[in-house]
Amino acid sequence: MLAAEAEAALGRADWRHGHGLAAREHVDRALRLVRDEPPSAASAGVRIDAASLRLVAGDGADAVPLAERALREAADLGLPELEARALAALGGARAALGDPRGLAEQERALEHFATRPSAEGAQTLTNLAADRAVLGDLRGEALERGRARVMATRLGLTRLLAWLDMTDRIADHAAGRWDLVLPPGDPPPAEETGYEAGQLLVGRARVLLGRGRRDAAVELSDRALALARAAMDAQVLGPALACRARVALDQGDRAAAAVLVDELLALLPGRFLEPSIGIDLPLTAAALGHGADALDGIVATPWRDAAHCFLDGDHVGAADDYAAIGAVVDEAQARLAAARALAAAGVPDAACAQWERGAATARRIGAVAWLHPPLDAADAGHVAGPG
């Protein structure tokens, strides 16, 4: 059992450093070592680690039976702390499949961790926050993330605090607090490495693209994609592919954008749309001629519903869906797209209303590139310019 535990520990370390393939290999070896062994704390712990790694790789369906077996073993052995960890892993896997039962299971795990602050409790709160985001509740995500930060700070969990710093910046991007993601006038950040860096770079690339700094957006989106490929983690690879495709489309390189979108769409059946993918996928896919059927097989979440509306031509419906989620930046871009579509369809009053709502956000956050070209006044009647 010591060998299995050592392999699992090596897998966790490799994952934290962004080495997804090596992490998977270590954990798979650990699973083989415990496969024929009687239930024990070690075997349950290895299965929890394996479930967690499958989950971050986007394989929620594989993670569920691993977590379920770990939960049974921990319960049979009378190990409440291990049982809580298994329950948290199972809840995360279910949430990844769009099953809201996963949130309740994680909350049950937290009832155990609430008896005393622990690293496991702080991690469960962090995971619960992420799952609330996946299920379309960015406001609830912010509350859970705040609770996780309080516990992690109290315990001095520097690694988890670094992760929470990164998720803070992702939330800042989605809410339009762009100056916190990348202050205006700042040069692109120096070379960064590590697991968190890829997601930070995606957010910064999007800010730069919105501000019209295309060359810098290309550089950062390239770096983000390289880090994501090395990590082999669905929660970073999907957003990185979507962002790089959007940047390529903005450059006029439709062929490159199409290759990246096709790669992303091939990854998604049976999985959910990462919140950080946002509007990048539907906006780019629509421009390349994809329809709503491109999302067939993707786990149903409010993010999928919004993307489906957009690809089905219902841009206002997509904007309303993003607004309900709390995704300010995605809502604004959907409303600007709606305005252009309505103007082209000869509905100037509706176009004006959508343009002004989207443009107000764009002006507030400095996303000047979104407003170019300006809406055609001849089509949209009295629509104001970017101001």
Considering only CA atoms, which of 217, 174, 225, 165 is closest in space to residue 196?
165
Q: Is the peptide bond before 184 cis (omega within 30 degrees of 0)?
A: no
Per the structure, the count of domains in the chain is 3
Note down the domain range covering 202: 187-287
Pair 140, 193 in one domain: no
Domain end among 271, 287, 303: 287
Does some domain include residue 301?
Answer: no
Position 126: which residue type?
Answer: T
Pair 218, 243 in one domain: yes
Does some domain include residue 295?
Answer: no
Q: Give start and end residues of each alpha helix (H) in 137-213.
A: 138-155, 158-175, 178-181, 195-210
Pair 144, 195 in one domain: no
Pair 264, 150 in one domain: no
Q: Give the C-alpha separation, 201 to 141, whole Å.
A: 21
Which tokens in the block code for residue 338? 């709606």
Instruction: Write down the pLDDT at residue 378.
Output: 46
Q: Give the C-alpha separation, 70 to 164, whole Å.
A: 27
Pair 265, 144 in one domain: no
Pair 245, 345 in one domain: no
Pair 129, 219 in one domain: no
Considering only CA atoms, which of 285, 365, 290 is closest in space to residue 332?
365
Domain end among 129, 153, 174: 174
Q: Give the C-alpha separation, 324 to 126, whole Å.
A: 22
Does some domain include residue 181?
Answer: no
- For 103, counting Cβ atoms within 10 Å of its Cβ (0-12 exposed, 13-18 middle, 19+ buried), the class is buried
Pair 23, 168 in one domain: yes
Position 198: which residue type?
Answer: G
Does some domain include residue 292?
Answer: no
Instruction: Write down the pLDDT at residue 210.
Output: 97
Sign of CA pseudo-dihedral 182, 184, 186, 191: positive
Q: Give the C-alpha separation, 281 to 273, whole Å.
A: 9
CATH number, domain containing residue 128: 1.25.40.10
Provide the residue-wise pLDDT of the chain in tens; the chain has 387 residues.
678 888 888 878 877 766 777 888 888 898 888 888 899 998 999 999 899 888 877 777 889 999 999 999 999 999 998 999 999 999 999 988 888 889 999 999 998 887 788 898 999 999 999 999 999 999 999 999 999 999 999 999 999 999 999 999 999 999 999 999 999 877 666 556 666 788 899 999 999 999 999 999 999 999 999 999 988 777 889 999 999 999 999 999 999 999 999 999 999 998 899 999 999 999 999 999 999 999 999 999 999 999 999 999 999 999 999 999 999 999 999 999 999 999 999 999 999 999 999 999 999 999 999 999 998 754 554 444 333
Which tokens in the block code for residue 154? 């109290």
Considering only CA atoms, which of 62, 70, 73, 61 is closest in space to residue 88?
70
Q: Give the C-alpha separation, 297 to 314, whole Å.
A: 20
Domain end among 174, 197, 230: 174
Does some domain include residue 153?
Answer: yes
Contacts of 205 (CB under 8 A, 6+ apart): 216, 217, 220, 221, 224, 243, 247
Pair 17, 102 in one domain: yes
Does some domain include residue 296?
Answer: no
Instruction: Write down the pLDDT at residue 386.
Output: 34
Contacts of 57 (CB under 8 A, 6+ apart): 20, 24, 232, 233, 234
The DSSP H or E segment spanning 55 is: helix 41-56
Pair 20, 133 in one domain: yes
User: Contact at 8 Å (CB) between 322 and 306?
Assistant: yes
Pair 32, 130 in one domain: yes
Does some domain include residue 302?
Answer: no
Does some domain include residue 307?
Answer: no
pTM exceeds 0.95: no
Pair 98, 244 in one domain: no
Position 170: which residue type?
Answer: I
Q: Give the C-alpha separation, 228 to 263, whole Å.
A: 13
Distance of CA 19 to the CA centre of its chain: 19
